[in-house]
Amino acid sequence: MNEKIEVDIKVPNQTRYLGLIGKIGEDIARTLKKYQGDREELAYHLNLVLTEAMANAICHANEGDPDKEVHVSISFADRVLNIKVYDQGQGFDVNSLPNPDFQNLEEHGRGIYIIRTLMDRVTYEKHAHGNVLEMQKTLN
Partner 1 sequence: MMLNIEEKGAVVLIEVKEERLDAHNSGELKSQMLSLFEEGKKDIVVALHEVRFVDSSGLGALVSGFKNASARNGNLKLCGLQSQVKSMFELTRLHRVFEIFPDTDEALASF
**Which residues contribute to the site for partner 1 (CB under 8 A)?**
15-16, 18-19, 22, 40-41, 44, 47-48, 51-52, 55, 58-59, 100, 102, 105-108, 110-111, 113-114, 117
Ramachandran sector of residue 26 (left: φ over 0; alpha: ψ -120 to 50; beta: rest): alpha
Q: What's the closest the beta carbon of residue 77 comes to a second copy, in angstroms?
A: 10
26 binds ligand ADP (CB under 6 A): no
Q: 139 contacts which partner out of a second copy, partner 1, ligand ADP, none, CB within 5 to 8 A by kind?
A: none
112 binds ligand ADP (CB under 6 A): yes
Amino acid at 104: N
